[in-house]
């Protein structure tokens, strides 16, 4: 705890009074107290400019001044949240003036002619308050930094868990681990292009990665089949949407988890109502699922799988255009195609990290998209 002499020596006190005799008297009293940094202003406007641009601890302020009075100065300080302790030293001692001054943010009030001892005591108390406020501000900033650091750490841990969860699929579906990373990245890009908030973008980047988590429940003979699924097998494959929803809904009510569950359940719903598992249509399909669906299908078409070859960029683009207004919402397709070059650049970067998968043998023949 600082001693009073140290507080006085380090204090920055401002005095504004349009009567020079009062100004000199107040300055002399303050310096006699041991306050070394005293700034005095005969011109209220110059004093206000100093208050708004410099650091200070206590203000001694007259009220009855021409052009810019003390009430106006208090109003400006209050408006800009620059309210260190203010002691009004004024000949306006009527109740209305006192109430108005205190109401505008003054912390204390001394009438003229003032009592010297009273002035000194009130200045010391104001300086203690100012010091306490500064220390509190420092502690608050330190706390904010700590919370931000812990939040970042928690966010990184959360993301690591999500990546680990989705990576488990890589051992069952060859490229799925890379696929979900790309879908998450492109869904975030698409959400931003559609004007969603940065929080939404951050959420969908991770939530979209979990769109196929339900595939952990699909038997290998179906999931890894090299060829088109028959009707019965396709019905089993379709169950991954609801499986994913149930897995994720058990994880809680956090916004990210809720979004991930919605995507898992609805990313195979179609804009025209022909999708599964609930045959939703139009805006009844959650936006996050509509966004993820376009990104999921495009990336799946552009990559080789055990059951199909890789489509060319133009073929995948043509497919999205063909399904515009059918499988996909038209506006989302348009936004995606407007950023297709960026998606391809991202895809190339991802695939360079996974060279064991054949994504170079591209074909123009369009295999069924239902396995996406």
The CA distance from 289 to 310, in Å, is 24
Collapse the DSSP code of 311 into the 3-class scheme (helix H, G, I; strand E, B; otherwise coil) and give the result: strand
pLDDT digits 0-9 by tens, 176-210: 557 888 999 999 999 999 999 999 999 999 999 88
User: Is position 152 within any domain?
Assistant: no
pLDDT digits 0-9 by tens, 104-131: 888 899 988 888 899 999 999 888 888 8
Domain shared by 191 and 326, yes or no: yes
Domain shared by 180 and 112, yes or no: no
Domain shared by 130 and 178, yes or no: no
Q: Answer for the pair 316, 298: CB distance below 8 angstroms, yes or no.
A: yes
Task: Provide the domain limits for residue 80.
Answer: 4-140
Domain shared by 334 and 199, yes or no: yes
- Classify residue 318 as exposed, middle or buried by CB count within 10 Å of its CB (0-12, 13-18, 19+): middle
Going by their DSSP bridges, the two strands 58-61 and 12-16 should be labelled as parallel
User: Is position 157 within any domain?
Assistant: no
The CA distance from 263 to 244, in Å, is 9
Domain shared by 204 and 84, yes or no: no
Instruction: Identify the band that residue 44 occupies on the pLDDT scale cut at 50, 70 and 90.
Output: very high
User: Is position 165 within any domain?
Assistant: no
pLDDT at 368 over 60: no
pLDDT score for 148: 61
pLDDT score for 157: 55
Task: Name the average pLDDT for the chain.
Answer: 84
**Is 215 an annotated catalytic residue?**
yes
Q: Answer for the pair 234, 259: CB distance below 8 angstroms, yes or no.
A: no
pLDDT score for 160: 60
Which CATH number covers residue 200?
Answer: 1.10.3210.10
pTM: 0.57
Q: Which of 116, 140, 164 is the last residue of a domain?
A: 140
Domain shared by 229 and 350, yes or no: yes
pLDDT score for 367: 44
Most confident range, picked from 136-140, 209-213, 359-363: 209-213
For the chain, the maximum distance between any two Cα atoms, rounded to a whole number of angstroms, is 100
Q: Answer for the pair 226, 198: CB distance below 8 angstroms, yes or no.
A: no
pLDDT score for 198: 93
> In this structure, what token pair is assigned to residue 101?
């001054």
**Which is the catalytic residue, given 112, 122, 124, 215?**
215
């Amino acid at each position: 705890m600082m001693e009073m002499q140290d507080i006085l020596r380090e204090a920055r006190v401002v005095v504004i009074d349009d009567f020079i005799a009062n100004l000199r008297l107040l300055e002399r009293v303050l310096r006699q107290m041991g306050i070394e940094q005293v700034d005095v202003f005969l011109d209220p406007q110059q004093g206000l400019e100093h208050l708004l641009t410099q650091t200070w601890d206590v203000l001694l302020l007259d009220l009855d001044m021409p052009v810019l009075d003390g009430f106006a100065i208090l109003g400006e300080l209050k408006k800009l949240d620059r309210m260190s302790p203010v002691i009004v030293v004024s000949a306006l001692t009527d109740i209305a003036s006192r109430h108005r001054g205190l109401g505008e943010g003054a912390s204390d009030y001394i009438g003229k002619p003032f009592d010297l001892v009273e002035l000194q005591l009130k200045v010391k108390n104001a300086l203690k308050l100012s010091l306490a406020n500064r220390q509190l501000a420092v502690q608050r900033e330190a706390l904010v930094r700590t919370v931000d650091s812990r939040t970042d750490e928690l966010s990184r841990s959360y993301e690591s868990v999500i990546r680990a969860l989705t990576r488990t699929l890589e051992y069952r579906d060859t490229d799925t681990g890379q696929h979900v990373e790309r879908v998450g990245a492109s869904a975030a890009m698409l959400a931003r292009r559609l004007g969603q908030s940065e929080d939404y973008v951050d959420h969908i980047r991770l939530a979209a990665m979990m769109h196929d988590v339900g595939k952990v429940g699909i038997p290998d003979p179906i999931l890894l089949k090299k060829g088109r699924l028959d009707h019965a097998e396709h019905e089993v494959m379709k169950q991954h949407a609801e499986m994913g929803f149930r897995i994720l809904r058990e994880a809680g009510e956090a916004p990210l988890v809720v979004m991930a569950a919605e995507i898992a359940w609805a990313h195979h719903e179609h804009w025209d109502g022909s999708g599964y598992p609930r045959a939703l249509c139009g805006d009844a399909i959650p936006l996050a699922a509509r966004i993820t669906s376009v990104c999921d299908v495009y990336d799946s078409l552009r990559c080789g799988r055990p059951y199909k070859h890789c489509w060319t960029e133009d073929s995948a683009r043509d497919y999205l255009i063909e399904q515009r207004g059918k499988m996909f919402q038209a506006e989302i397709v348009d936004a995606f195609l407007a950023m297709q070059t960026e998606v391809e650049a991202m895809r190339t970067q991802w695939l360079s990290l996974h060279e064991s998968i054949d994504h170079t043998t591209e074909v123009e023949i369009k295999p069924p998209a239902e396995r996406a």
